[in-house]
Structure 1
Amino acid sequence: MTLTHVLHAVESLRGVTVRTPMLTSTALDQQVGRRVWVKAENQQLTGSFKVRGAYNALTALGAKDRRRGVIGASSGNHAAALAMAAHLYEVPATVVVPEDVPAVKRQAIEALGARIVTYNRYTGRREALVHELARRHGLAIVPSANDERVIAGAGTVAWEMLQEVPNLVAILVPVGGGGLAAGTALAATGHDPQFQVFGVEPTVADDTHRSLRIGRRIRIPPPVTIADGLGHAEPARIPFEVNQRLLTDIITVPEDAISEAMAYLWHHLRLVAEPSGAVALAGLLQATDRLPDGPIGVVVSGGNVGWTTYRTLLDIAMNRMETPPHAAPVLR
């Protein structure tokens, strides 16, 4: 895969997805000692970056394959994105999600008319279920990460960031299956081969971190993390091949740092981020000394979190940290 794949996705998504804002905070800049630009993908359609890849994949399928219907599996955000893309194309969608998928994500999927099939995230065989349903009903599979079209769509996030702030020297992104990291690396290193892209994972869900250190994909026990969208046990194959080649490094962050990043985003930028969406900022705050000098980009990848969960995590975080001074966000 190359930057060309991302540029094709840019055209595919033109006029469909939202060009989400880039925000800054003086307090954040002062804390990390450099300019920071936050890409607010929590304000994207369906509340996450995932619709970029899902829609790009459906566009590439062609009308005949789309009409048969599509199927995909995810922890929730890709499922909602696939449901949205199918809704826009007026084709049927089936999504496979964990039994314990957050209610806010399930409700979004149901509102878009997709058929929901559930599985146990700790004991179920998700991919086998998807392939069996696809075979039985003649559906086209749209993976959440392991697909070149999905990766290219995710890469349009970084392409937009670099169009607006071309002097960025690094971007931090959350890592689950690895599609967003791979797309970001393709877009950014195509812009500048020396550009640095850092993936950020929960410490308890560090399958990509371990795999990159060993040099091959490994499987870890199903992780339990507040960042439900990043609870992968093994990196997806196609993103991993890109990330092995182009990703600068992986930063891992503890659970406390994730909830504190959620609180930080609210106080300084008035952004509601789900735990998975706040992980990249947690990486910035935890590992500033590992980053190059110069302006840094951070992707807030999603904001689909229920009010009770959000309030609880912020209350816990606020009990651990001092309330930072308010700094009004600046929209570019």
Structure 2
Amino acid sequence: MTEIVPLAEIERARDQLAGVIRLTPLEPSRPLSAVLGGPAWLKCENLQRAGSFKIRGAYVRICRLSEEERARGVVAASAGNHAQGVALGARLCGAAATVYMPAGAPLPKIAATKGYGAAVELVGHTVDEALVAAQEHAERTGAVFIHPFDHPDVIAGQGTLGLEILEQCPEVATVVVGVGGGGLVAGVAAAIKATRPEVRVVGVQAAGAAAFPPSLAAGQPVRLPTYRTIADGIAVGRPGDLTFAHVSKVVDEVVTVSDEDISQALLMLLERGKLVAEPAGAVPIAALLAGATQVAAPAVAVLSGGNIDPLLMLRVIEHGLAAASRFLRFTVRCVDRPGQLAALLTQLAEHGANVVDVAHQRYDPQLRIGEVEVALSVETRGAGHADQLLTALRDGGYEVTLIGHP
């Protein structure tokens, strides 16, 4: 029978991390408080060293190795955050590190991992494929494999975040944590339930990569046949055996959120919180905004990481604006005659829409003779304004078709 990582090990991990990690702030969130009807806080691990919580577990695992084990070097697999945590942890502990990353890993995460001194190998297209390559490397070279989540020392390290939450917010009633392989939620729940069993711990997965709900239903870890989400940091196809045991015993609920929910959470964090988060780091906030579960306040949502590719950020912002109906892409078909385009743009201006771009198409064979199609991207003030704009255009005789609307 699998044992839950004991509180004593998590407290020992906190001592080992003293002087290594930052005590990240607990920031109030008015938008979340408005949704919950009570106090809501963000635990800002996006401000942690290496940009996420991962340094906690990686450093504890490596620092607990013997001198002989550290001399053999360490190896890991990650889409980015664990990679950076292992690279930094290994450097601080004087061990050489090799990290296997999926070929599509974000370039800033690859560069940061190399910057911390690790050798990076790009293999496969998923974290699971990189994990296989890393384990083969360990068997071939004798390097110690540092699992991203399924090890007691890693869970103990991540659990130190739970201790900080209890100290920073003693009145907390609910803690909401993002879930990939389950190391963070396992550690946080183990720490919290050992001292405050009445506090509810909720895990959140991206709906496109949610392996825990079917695993919990089956009573054992189940591998997803396929998975895809913008939250690459939690795109894990199978829970770990150890983390599954923890989640089964000490996590109260696991819920899911859509990529649209995540996009809107990232947008809210940027606009209202002035906080940069990566998609995987924002899933707890997405769950609260979307009402994915009933949450008692005071609540703490763990913003677990901020390592986002700027190009992805641009796409996510546009996606979030579109999901909130603040950015619309649509086509308008109308009669091809002089002044028609000017009249269309004038009507948009009269209704307060800001035109971002315009494409005028006259020669598409799908168009009727004497007809023109105009593709537009416009900014609006929200869902109500967008509905008024589209209704006015249709009432004006325009044939309007939305493009890529959620």
**TM-score, normalisation: structure 1:** 0.93
Indicate which of 130, 133, 138 corresponds to 1:126: 130
Indicate which of 48, 52, 75 corresponds to 2:52: 48
- What SS does the aligned partner of 1:173 have? strand
Residue matched to 1:328: none
- 1:64-103 deviations in whole A, cap 9, x for unaligned? 2112100111111101110001111222001111010001
Give the whole-Å Cα distance in 2 for the aligned partners of 1:270 and 1:126.
34
Q: CA contact under 8 A between 1:98 and 1:121: conserved in structure 2?
A: yes
Give the whole-Å Cα distance in 2 for the aligned partners of 1:210 and 1:33.
31
Q: CA contact under 8 A between 1:32 and 1:288: conserved in structure 2?
A: no
Residue matched to 1:313: 316
Give the whole-Å Cα distance in 2 for the aligned partners of 1:179 and 1:173.
11
- Read off the aligned partner of 2:265 and give its amino acid letter: A
Identical positions, percent: 34
Give the whole-Å Cα distance in 2 for the aligned partners of 1:320 and 1:276.
18
- What SS does the aligned partner of 1:302 have? coil
- What SS does the aligned partner of 1:168 have? coil
Residue matched to 2:232: 228
Poorly superposed stretches of 4+, deviation over 6 Å:
none
- Read off the aligned partner of 1:169 and give its amino acid letter: A
- 1:229-250 deviations in whole A, cap 9, x for unaligned? 1111100111111110011001
Give the whole-Å Cα distance in 2 for the aligned partners of 1:232 and 1:288.
21
Cα pair distance change 1:124/1:35, threshold 3 Å: closer
- TM superposition shift of 1:121: 2.7
Cα pair distance change 1:248/1:71, threshold 3 Å: same
Aligned residues: 323
- TM superposition shift of 1:186: 0.5
Give the whole-Å Cα distance in 1 for the aligned partners of 2:152 and 2:217.
24
Q: CA contact under 8 A between 2:209 and 2:227: conserved in structure 1?
A: yes
Look at both structures and tell me which one has the larger radius of gyration over its CA atoms.
2
- Read off the aligned partner of 1:181 and give its amino acid letter: V
Give the whole-Å Cα distance in 2 for the aligned partners of 1:162 and 1:233.
31
- TM superposition shift of 1:288: 6.1
- TM superposition shift of 1:319: 2.9
Indicate which of 91, 94, 108 corresponds to 2:98: 94
Give the whole-Å Cα distance in 2 for the aligned partners of 1:253 and 1:233.
16
Cα pair distance change 1:10/1:135, threshold 3 Å: same
- TM superposition shift of 1:320: 2.8
Q: CA contact under 8 A between 2:32 and 2:40: conserved in structure 1?
A: yes
Are 2:305 and 1:302 equivalent residues in the alignment?
A: yes
Whose helix proportion is higher, 1 or 2? 1
Uncovered stretches (5+) of structure 1, i.e. residues with no partner = 325-332
Indicate which of 215, 220, 235 corresponds to 2:219: 215
Give the whole-Å Cα distance in 2 for the aligned partners of 1:79 and 1:220.
23
Residue matched to 2:38: 34
Give the whole-Å Cα distance in 1 for the aligned partners of 2:130 and 2:204.
24
Residue matched to 2:10: 6
- TM superposition shift of 1:50: 0.2
Q: CA contact under 8 A between 1:122 and 1:222: conserved in structure 2?
A: no
Indicate which of 250, 254, 260 corresponds to 2:258: 254
- 1:116-150 deviations in whole A, cap 9, x for unaligned? 12221359743332222112221011100011101
Give the whole-Å Cα distance in 1 for the aligned partners of 2:9 and 2:295.
27
- Read off the aligned partner of 2:122 and give its amino acid letter: T
Give the whole-Å Cα distance in 1 for the aligned partners of 2:81 and 2:252.
26
- Read off the aligned partner of 1:309 and give its amino acid letter: L
Residue matched to 1:25: 29
Indicate which of 34, 54, 61 corresponds to 1:57: 61
Q: CA contact under 8 A between 1:251 and 1:287: conserved in structure 2?
A: no
- TM superposition shift of 1:313: 0.6
Highest RCO, 1 vs 2 (Cα 8 Å, sep ≥ 6): 1
- TM superposition shift of 1:197: 0.6
- What SS does the aligned partner of 1:100 have? coil
Q: CA contact under 8 A between 1:146 and 1:239: conserved in structure 2?
A: yes
Residue matched to 2:177: 173
Residue matched to 2:243: 239
- TM superposition shift of 1:290: 1.6
Q: CA contact under 8 A between 1:222 and 1:232: conserved in structure 2?
A: no
Indicate which of 129, 132, 140 corresponds to 2:144: 140
Give the whole-Å Cα distance in 1 for the aligned partners of 2:253 and 2:175.
11
Give the whole-Å Cα distance in 2 for the aligned partners of 1:123 and 1:67.
26
- Read off the aligned partner of 2:83 and give its amino acid letter: A
Residue matched to 2:186: 182
- 1:283-307 deviations in whole A, cap 9, x for unaligned? 1112365223x20010011011111
- 1:293-332 deviations in whole A, cap 9, x for unaligned? x2001001101111121122112212332679xxxxxxxx
- What SS does the aligned partner of 2:248 have? helix
What is the root-mean-square deviation of aligned Cα atoms in Å?
1.6
Give the whole-Å Cα distance in 2 for the aligned partners of 1:216 and 1:319.
38
- What SS does the aligned partner of 1:91 have? coil
Uncovered stretches (5+) of structure 2, i.e. residues with no partner = 327-380, 383-406
- Read off the aligned partner of 2:263 and give its amino acid letter: S
